[in-house]
Amino acid sequence: MASGLNITLVYSPAPRQVREWALELEAGATVGDAMDCCRLFEEFAELQKNRLLVGIWGRKTRLDHLLHDNDRIEVYRTLRVDPKVARRERFNRQGAKSAGLFTKKRPGAKAGY
């Protein structure tokens, strides 16, 4: 059994843009070690200014968390718009007749049925 860990680190600096690093680290490495190895802060200096949120496979974790083989580290950026507010605004723009449950309705039925 090999003592190295195969790790993937992913960061999306903007919508529809993804940077991905494939790393090979020693056993006992932490999330912070992986971020240092790929030089994330050199390429994206704005990450140092904000409180950094990271996760492994979609679950939030700390920088001192020990990594396992084939872990996928995700660096999260802050949201600019609350998803609930964005959905509400999108619904108001589209109107009730063309969104969600209301798009297909039987002739003569009430809205949403």
Instruction: Name the helix (H) or strand (E) containing 23.
Output: strand 17-26
For the chain, first and last CA: distance in Å? 58
- pTM tops 0.85, yes or no: no
CA-nearest of 14, 28, 18, 31 to 72 is 31
Local confidence pLDDT in tens for the 113 residues of the chain? 457 889 999 998 888 889 899 999 999 899 989 988 888 888 887 777 777 889 999 899 998 999 999 999 999 888 778 889 988 888 888 765 665 655 666 677 666 54
> Which domains does the chain show, CATH number per domain?
4-76 (3.10.20.30)
